[in-house]
Structure formats: structure tokens, C-alpha cells
A and B are shown apart, each in its own frame.
Chain A
Amino acid sequence: MATVTLRDLRKSFGDTEVIKGIDLEIEDGKFCVLVGPSGCGKSTLLRMIAGLEDIDGGALSIGGEVMNDIAPAERGVSMVFQSYALYPHMTVYQNMSFGLKLAKESDETVEERVRNAAEILQITDLLDRKPKALSGGQRQRVAIGRAIVRDPKVFLFDEPLSNLDATLRVQMRLEISRLHRRLGTTMIHVTHDQVEAMTLADQIVVLNQGVVAQAGTPRDLYDRPANTFVAGFIGSPAMNLLDARVKGGSVVLEGTDARIEGVDAADRPDGPVTLGFRPEHAELRDDGDGLPFEVEVMEDLGDTCVLHGVLADGPQATLRIPAETALPARGDRMCVMPGDGRCHLFDRDSGQRI
């Protein structure tokens, strides 16, 4: 039905290539989240799918049909903009029915679809209001409602929640998730927010400078990041990425003799690598059999506590430990070891996973 397929998609603004050959397949009905640092081309890619930017190279198909040269309104996609982009001079009802009226739908169909969408989003009471008389969250709902009524094959969201306050954001996130389950439509969602990405997505696509760094389920990306970029990008606080060295089948932190136990490098040749382990995957060792860690900054988050400090008198590292035990303080020395099987090795030069 509405599988979205990108084949070697390219886009340049002047001389700078912004999208550098993206291959991607988003299956019908899946929720795909695009993440990446600012300026990596997320919005541009989304706008190319919407038809708001021309495609310079490659092929975009939706539901098996090539869409490169089809007008935006005929692609069967709806977009929700970051700034909501409601028509200020129209009431909520007119905002939502504008597209349908242009498509010459009958009055009954328009009325029915708008009422339906308004019901789903609980904005029936607001239908006669102008956008300026709405709160941010309500405007957002109207913007989503305007996308729903057109009954698109694909929804595109460009950071729709980033203007909302934290509480409302969590609430709208749940609602988008519910909406996806209810409509079963393919959705592509751009966000900066880690949690939003991890919770909403069937498939996360991490973009870096116009190329796909990795695409996969949230689990995949968290458990098996394909490279140091994804490793550092997914997860909060970020994964520790430390210079290390393979020496006779075991991994040693660069500049120290500290041997890391939980990695198997038996069949690796000696040489430099990058060692990654997540802050939450460090184990405290009471028996003194581990690496020394000196606490410099402690952040108590209530359920857990985050420690920033020096590992094995060498590199900086971050740990996250349960906040049940007595909390360590600045200057404390403790004994830690990355969890068994929870370490990742990356090629030092290319950054690719080994």
C-alpha cells in the first residue's frame, strides 16, 4: 500500500550538497522517526518527500508509485509543520476543511470528515474559533486535525512538539502514538528529542550530514549502534567512548594498564580501537576488583544518579547508578567495571562497529 521508498535521494542548495544519497525503506503503517543533529538535513528530507523541495537525484516512491514530479497535493501525504502554520483568518473548521473543499469534496463528506477528526482530537468545541484564540497545544491539535481530514497515505511531522512545554509534550506524544495505532497510517516524524524517538518509533533513522548513519528499531540502535556517531547520539547521558587498545586478545584503556573484562577480543589483532559502554551499564564492585573511578560531579535525578569523573586515572567518563545506596560525593573513589557483554568496540579510524 503506502510503503515509502527512497533510492539514492539527493539534494543540493547551490554548491552544497545537503542530502547525499539516501536509501531507505519505510514499510506500510510503520512509525519512522528521523533524528540527527541540527542542520543534518532532516527537514530537507521531509520536505522532499512532501514535494516542497525539488528532488535533484534518485527516486522517491510512495506505495510503489514514483513521486518525484508529482505535485505535493497529489502525493497523498499530509504535513504538520513545526510552527503549526494554521490559516490565521479562518476558523478551526475552515482550516480543517480547506483542503477538502479545494479537492471538491461534497459538503456532507467535508462535514463528516471534519467532525470525525475533531472528535478524535477532542477539538469539537473549538471548531468556530480563530487560531489566535487557541493555546499552543490546541493549535497543534488543529494542525494535526487538518492533516487527518485529508486521509493521507503518509503523515509527515516536522518537530511538531518542540514548541510545547514539557508536560504537554509528553501528553501529545502519547496522543500521536495513539493516533498512529488508531489510523494505522505510515508516519514519518522528525524530532530532536531522544525520548520521543525511542518511544514513538518502529524504526529510527539517524541522519548525519546528509547520509543515513543507521536505520533500525530503537532496540537495535540502542543495543548495537553501527558506528560511534550513532553510539554517541542515541541514549542519554551519552555512551562513553574511550580510546583503548587491543593487547593480546584483551582490551586495555589507552595510557593505562586497566584491563576491561566484559569484552571478547580474542580474535582481534593488536591495535587501537574505540571502546564504548553506556553509563547505565557500569557495575559497582564492592570487592575492589575493578577500575578506580574518581567522582567530580554528581547529579541526583531521584531514581538514578549520574556521576561524571575520571576513570582509571585516565579519561573522563560518565556513570549512572541506582540511587538506592548511599550517594557518592565529589572526590569519592569507587571501583567500577563495564557490564559483561555490554561493551562495544569500534574501529578507531572509521568509527565503524567491529
Chain B
Amino acid sequence: MAARHTSPAAKIGFWLLVAVLLVILLFPFYYAVITSFKSGSAIFEVDYLPAALSAGNYTSIFAEQPFGRNILNSLVVSVAVVGISLFLGLTAALALGRFRFKGRRMMLLAVLSVSMFPQVAVLSGMFELIRVLGLFNNPGGLILSYLIFTLPFTVWVLTSFIRDLPAEVEEAAIMDGAKPWTLLTRIFLPMMWPAMVTTGLLAFIVAWNEFLFALTFTLSNDQRTVPVAIALITGGSEFEVPWGRIMAASVIVTVPLIALVLIFQRRIVSGLTAGAVKG
């Protein structure tokens, strides 16, 4: 590598830069964690090292409101969105990427154009739809509406990925007697893990963090998802913003995302098709 010939000064400069970047990136999160462990008025004192740790904020968010239930809602909604997006995205991608038919380009463009509208533009229409389907104040309504965000990019990413897979591997499987379903599950799916994991993760994050629809389509406290629940955390009086508890809740809901990325990071590597065709 280039580092072989660099002077010590350049090396120090490089790591200094890395350190600065890390501080800038991580400081907000660090401060949130610190704040979440402070109690009472200690929150309004600016210090960068935790003086006294107290888990009071963490216990109180679960005690004073159905926060556990909110997390469960978020989890159900997000997992369902990921599952449905990947299933629909994959089957659509197989059709759009591997078969020639009239209107294929039109269909791809139509899928993409869905994601061009701002969220508020579809809000009222979506509201009517959800009410007609009887999904108001129900996780089902959120799952349905989140698919507008997740399906377009899932379909597009998976389609272009499937299109780049070597055609001869598919043909070899056809010669071996694989029917379309077998092709999808035994040949394409295993080769598509990197794309599936990446799009799945993105879909999860979108669904986990979504706020506007979640606020609009739910009514009661125990149907809410986490982002709305956090925003609606109230203090003892209307003049008090309970920063400690808000921070504690934010930390709790960030942890699953970090865990997911760490678990799947080894899967988010391309090159799984290595060895299929000539190097």
C-alpha cells in the first residue's frame, strides 16, 4: 500500500483526520447516551463525562407509558414490511429482469415514479384507502402504507442485480430441469444474498424510523410505533420537556439498528457469484 513510503508526519496527520471525523460523527450519539443516564436538573449542566449514572430515565419510560408495546409494534411493522417488500420485490425483479414482455420498461418507470411524490401528497389519499380497508389505528395500515417507500427501491435494486447475474448459470439450471420456482429459490436467491440483505436493511430502517404516516394512521397509545411514541413523551407539566427520557428512548430504539448492521455486515459483501463463470 501507499503507506509504505509515507513519512511519520503524514501518518500522524492521517490518523488525526480520522479522529476528527470520528468525533464529529459520533459525538451527537455519545451525548445522547450520556444525557439519557442523567437525572433531574443535571441534564442542563454541560459536561462531557458522565458524573453519576442513573437508570431512572430507562425505567420510567417503560413504567409511565406502553413503551414496550410501542417497540413491539415497530418490530412487527418493520419485519412485516421487510418480508413483504423482499418477497414482492424478488418475484417482480425476476419477471422484470429475466423475461421479455411488452411494457416492461413502462412498468419499471411506473414503479419508480411512485417514489417521486412527497409523502404529504399521498397522505390524504392513503388515509381514505386505509379507512376503507378498515386498517385505521392498526399496524396493518402502517405496513401497507410503508410499502410505497420500500417497494420502488427494492424492485429496482433487485431487478438490476438479477439482470447482472450470469445468464448461463440460469440456463444450466434449466437444462438440469429447474422450474421457475426452483430457479428462484435454489439458484437466484442464494446468489442474491448481498442485494437482499442490503435492500432488506434499508427497508427496515425506513419502516423503523417513519413518523408522518405513523402519526396520522394511529390513534391510541398502544397502537403507536416508536418514533411517534418518543415524540409524544410528555413531562410532569406542559412546560417541561423530558429530555432525559426522550434520550433514553432514542438510545433504546437505535440499538436494534446498530445490531442489525453489525450482524449482517459480513453478508453485505458482493462477490458471492465468484466462481460461477470465468474470472
A contact residues vs B (CB 8 Å cutoff) = 50-52, 71-74, 77-79, 81-90, 98-99, 102-103, 130-134, 136, 139, 146, 150, 163
Contact = CB atoms under 8 A, between A and B. Distances in A.
Contact of B276 (A71, A86, A103): A86
Contact of A88 (B171, B182, B274): B274
B254 to A, nearest CB: 33
Nearest to A158: B168
Given A136-B278, A163-B278, A85 B177 contact: no
A60 to B, nearest CB: 16
Contacts of B275: 86, 88, 130-134, 139
A72 B183 CA distance: 14
Contacts of B278: 83-84, 136, 163
Nearest to A134: B275
Contacts of B172: 79, 81, 85-87, 146
Contacts of B186: 98
A87 B276 contact: yes
Contact of B174 (A72, A88, A131): A72
4 smallest CB-CB distances across A and B, nearest first, come from A132-B275, A73-B177, A131-B275, A99-B176
A50 B172 CA distance: 10
A72 B190 CA distance: 23
Contacts of A77: 175
A61 to B, nearest CB: 19
Contacts of B277: 83-85
Interface in B136-161: none
B175 A50 contact: yes
Contacts of A52: 171, 174-175
A137 B274 CA distance: 16
A50 B173 CA distance: 12
Given A83-B168, A87-B187, A89-B191, A98 B173 contact: yes
A89 B190 contact: yes
Nearest to A163: B278
Given A132-B274, A133-B275, A87 B175 contact: no
A88 B175 CA distance: 17
B231 interface: no
A52 B175 CA distance: 8
Nearest to B172: A85
B276 to A, nearest CB: 4
Contacts of A87: 169, 172-173, 187, 276
Contacts of B166: 83, 85
A78 B272 contact: no
B178 interface: yes
Interface string B188-206: 0011000000000000000
Contacts of B174: 52, 72-73
Given A81-B168, A81-B171, A83-B166, A88 B177 contact: no
